[in-house]
Amino acid sequence: MESTRWSEPLGVPLATVFLESPGWVRVINFAFKFPAQFSEIQHSISWLPSTRSNSF
């Protein structure tokens, strides 16, 4: 899943990330609670789908 998928409707890519990496639920919750702030940092989280690091 490349970073370009993040430009798609949030439902699909976020659902895929959630299914692949349940540990990122906090990132998903943040995306829905603070959509404005999330869109500002979207460019910096494009690596999420390709990593297994629990840095959060």
Asked if the structure places residue 20 within a domain, the reply is yes
Asked if the model's pLDDT at residue 35 lies above 60, the reply is yes
Asked if the structure places residue 29 within a domain, the reply is yes
Residue 36 is predicted with a pLDDT of 62
Asked if the model's pLDDT at residue 9 lies above 60, the reply is no
The residue-averaged pLDDT of 42-50 equals 59
Domain count, the chain: 1
The residue-averaged pLDDT of 10-19 equals 56
Asked if the structure places residue 42 within a domain, the reply is yes
Asked if the structure places residue 44 within a domain, the reply is yes
3-state secondary structure the chain: CCHHHHHCCCHHHHHHHHHHCHHHHHHHHHHHHCHHHHHHHHHHCCCHHHCCCCCC
Asked if the structure places residue 56 within a domain, the reply is no
Asked if the structure places residue 54 within a domain, the reply is no
Percent of the chain with pLDDT over 70: 0
Domain around 39: 3-49
